[in-house]
Amino acid sequence: MKQSEINALIAEYPLVAQLMALQPVSWFNPRSTTLAAGLPFVGLGAEDVAQASRRLARFAPYISRAFPQTRADGGIIESPLTAISAMQQALNVHYGLTLPGRLLLKQDSHLPISGSIKARGGIYEVLTHAEMLAVGAGLLKPDDDYARLFSDDFRHFFSQYRIAVGSTGNLGLSIGIISAKLGFGVSVHMSADARAWKKQKLREHGVEVIEYAQDYGVAVEQGRKQAADDPHCFFIDDENSQTLFLGYAVAGERLKQQFIQQGITVDEQHPLFVYLPCGVGGGPGGVAFGLKLAFGDHVHCFFAEPTHSPCMLLGIYTGLHDGIAVQDLGIDNVTAADGLAVGRASGFVGRAMERLLDGCYTLSDSEMYRLLGLLDRQQQIRLEPSALAGMPGPWRVAAEHPWLAQRGLDAARMSQATHLVWATGGGMVPDSEMASYLAQAAEQLG
């Protein structure tokens, strides 16, 4: 972008200057509206999510057999919901502000199979494709017991086909593991920032890993190209896929059931705030969409991004969506937060969610490390850095008095609020890698 264009952008959107200066920014979305008014712009609805949920239920007998760690939950891939009151107290001190209401952690970091939020959307999209192929070939009917898929016959059938995906790590891990288990050939195009252990793990599963010296955008483009040349290869498009989005959205209804089981109320007097780390946007966008369908206007969703990769904030705030990348402004898109190192947001997700999202904020990598260390010390829960991005959110919201007043979120309601931090990854980080995260955290905490 030319300097004159940047100046014009800043004149209209002053927060852009702070983004360029890599300062932590909180942005409260003036265009957020009711579910009823915002829903038509998504282009998907409750029935689409219900269909996704039924598909996952059909596959549960297969998942249960193929991944014994899911057997206790009947092959349903779901994560714990945990109160973290010791962390809440520590953060009251850390941020110098007492948070009214309660703090919970949604541990997608500990989802079975791949230890990140990608075990929702990524696995769902591969299952959808596998079902389409098997039903199309007359080998499977939707009312069959899908445990049948766990057989040499089906593995042989799927081995005629390939799956390709571009990834910063966790999406590749999810898609690689499930695709290889079903019998597909699979290629994962990995960006430069992807961790060595993730590549190694995939290779151990028989996945072809192609490495790039460039970022996520390039890895995705190369994956797309490879698939275009091969009619038997299906490319999973993290930037535009409605299927991925729906796989994530199933989390809304599931969370509602968990709240009921734990006796947690969400209504007008008991608002719910959810804080979701955002990369390209499919994960947080799909989950937020599902949450809106499940809880209506009583849930308020915020996306969290690194100061070096604020692509979704930039896209929605300026209305330019995927027409602008952080690199256009000289922001480097270099961060320790795996999964969040994305320079250009999904245009599909930005446009779908811009009226249903309450805001976006950024935080520094060093803050993620401090939070990683605090969570380990206070709760003995270990996450990867990106998964901590949601953690400052409740304190950013609690400090925003004009916005709270404008939304009718008074002191009585806030004292009964639930703040849910979505922990998106870290369950499979090797011990040596975690030790180095914790050492960096200790250094940051002093």
Q: Is 379 exposed, middle or buried (0-12, 13-18, 19+ CB in 10 A)?
A: middle
Q: Which is nearer to ligand PLP, 38 or 281 (CB)?
A: 281
Distance between CA atoms of residues 400 and 405, nearest Å: 9
Residue spans of beta strands (DSSP E) within 15-120: 26-28, 81-83, 102-107
Contact present, 302 and 397 (Cβ < 8 Å):
yes
Q: Which is nearer to ligand PLP, 173 or 397 (CB)?
A: 173
Secondary structure in 3-state letters for 98-150: CCCCEEEEEEHHHCCCCCECHHHHHHHHHHHHHHHHHHHCCCCCCCCCHHHHC
Q: Which is nearer to ligand PLP, 84 or 173 (CB)?
A: 173
Q: Which is nearer to ligand PLP, 149 or 311 (CB)?
A: 311
In the complex, the residues that contact ligand PLP under the rule CB under 6 A are 116-118, 170-171, 277-284, 338-340, 384, 386-387, 424-425
Q: Which residue has the tokens 């199979």?
A: 113
CB of 118 to ligand PLP, least distance (A): 6
CB of 155 to ligand PLP, least distance (A): 28
What single-letter DSSP state applies at residue 425? B
Q: What is the DSSP string of 177-204?
A: HHHHHHT-EEEEEE-TTS-HHHHHHHHH
Q: Which residue has the tokens 């490879």?
A: 226
- The SS3 of residue 434 is helix
Q: Which is nearer to ligand PLP, 341 or 417 (CB)?
A: 341
Q: Which is nearer to ligand PLP, 64 or 107 (CB)?
A: 107
Amino acid at 391: M
CB of 7 to ligand PLP, least distance (A): 30
CB of 430 to ligand PLP, least distance (A): 15
User: E strand or H helix at 319, and its extent?
Assistant: none
CB of 117 to ligand PLP, least distance (A): 6
State how far the alpha carbon of 406 is from the alpha carbons of 229, 253, 289, 399, 400, in Å.
53, 28, 23, 14, 10
CB of 285 to ligand PLP, least distance (A): 7
CB of 411 to ligand PLP, least distance (A): 32
Q: Which is nearer to ligand PLP, 133 or 194 (CB)?
A: 194
CB of 1 to ligand PLP, least distance (A): 24
- Angle (CA) 30-294-55 rounded to 5° is 125
Side-chain half-sphere CA neighbours of 108 within 13 A? 28
CB of 423 to ligand PLP, least distance (A): 9
Q: Which is nearer to ligand PLP, 271 or 282 (CB)?
A: 282
